[in-house]
């Protein structure tokens, strides 16, 4: 049976949102896949009403949540939707990237680590990046067509986000975006160079764990 966008918006999407706030990590993972499918359906059928409701719920339930695990759900949902390639770069940025990049200064390490890993491994890979802060790190820096297709303002916001994460006080967060970033003529503070990681995620492995509390 094929469901219409209206049926998905009325029944399946609300159910998936309910699963996405579950205490069990595996349930949240399954909900992320379901929500990504809902978004893809809305997009393919140009269901503007359902899309707007979906986006409002994502921002309200996940991105603005006081629970770090739900903010991390938002990051993982953004990654899942990104990998569907159903949006143009600027459309995706307008719908998701603004709220996503605000999490660069999230108080919880696991959220910042999830953000850094997603952006570094997906949004900035496979191309040449010139006139960027990353020239301090690499002679050549790779970017996806996604990054190249973004407007200058969005690219600047991504660069700013990565610059902040590259000097994060947590070493796992720094490693997730390529290591410790040190601009010319400056030095990192002893706090930023502290190797005592406070994250519960090692080796750049992202999980929706339940161990750390907000």
Structure confidence by residue, pLDDT tens digits, 48-87: 999 999 999 999 999 999 999 999 999 999 999 999 999 9
Residues 6+ apart with CB under 8 A from 26: none
Tell me the average pLDDT across 126-149.
49
Taking every pair of C-alpha atoms in the chain, what is the biggest distance, in angstroms? 63
Model pLDDT, residue 1? 59
93 pLDDT higher than 50: yes
Q: What is the pTM of this model?
A: 0.77
Q: Does residue 193 contact residue 9 with C-beta atoms inside 8 Å?
A: no
Model pLDDT, residue 190? 42
Residue 42 phi, psi dihedral angles, 5° rounding: -60, -40
Sign for the CA dihedral angle at 136, 140, 146, 148 comes to: positive
Q: What is the mean pLDDT of the chain?
A: 81
Angle among Cα 17, 22, 45 to the nearest 5 degrees reads 20
Angle among Cα 190, 193, 195 to the nearest 5 degrees reads 120
CA distance 149 to 168: 28
User: Which 3 state secondary structure label does DSSP give 135?
Assistant: helix
134 pLDDT higher than 50: no
Model pLDDT, residue 125? 60
CA distance 139 to 129: 9
Of 9-18, 134-143, 159-168, where does mean pLDDT reach its minimum? 134-143
pLDDT band at 139 (very low <50, low <70, confident <90, very high): very low
Residue in this structure with the two tokens 């930023």, named with its chain if needed: 192
138 pLDDT higher than 80: no
Model pLDDT, residue 130? 42
105 pLDDT higher than 90: yes
DSSP secondary structure, 4-61, as one string = PHHHIIIIIHHHHHHHHT-SSHHHHHHHHHHHHHHHHHHHHTT-HHHHHHHHHHIIII
Model pLDDT, residue 140? 35
């Amino acid at each position: 049976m094929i469901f219409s966008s209206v049926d998905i918006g009325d029944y399946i999407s609300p159910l998936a949102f309910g699963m996405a706030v579950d205490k069990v990590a595996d349930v949240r993972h399954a909900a992320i896949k379901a929500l990504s499918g809902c978004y893809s359906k809305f997009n393919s059928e140009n269901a503007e009403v359902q899309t707007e409701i979906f986006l409002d719920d994502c921002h309200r339930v996940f991105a603005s949540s006081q629970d770090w695990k739900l903010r991390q759900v938002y990051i993982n949902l953004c990654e899942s939707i990104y990998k569907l390639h159903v949006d143009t770069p600027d459309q995706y940025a307008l719908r998701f990237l603004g709220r996503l990049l605000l999490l660069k200064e999230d108080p919880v390490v696991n959220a910042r680590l999830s953000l850094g890993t997603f952006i570094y491994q997906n949004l900035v890979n496979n191309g040449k990046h010139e006139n960027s802060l990353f020239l301090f790190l690499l002679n050549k820096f790779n970017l996806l067509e996604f990054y190249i297709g973004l407007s200058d303002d969005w690219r600047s916001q991504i660069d700013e986000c990565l610059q902040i994460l590259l000097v994060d006080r947590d070493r796992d967060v720094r490693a997730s975006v390529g290591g410790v970033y040190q601009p010319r003529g400056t030095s990192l503070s002893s706090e930023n160079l502290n190797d005592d990681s406070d994250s519960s995620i090692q080796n750049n492995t992202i999980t929706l764990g339940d161990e750390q509390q907000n």
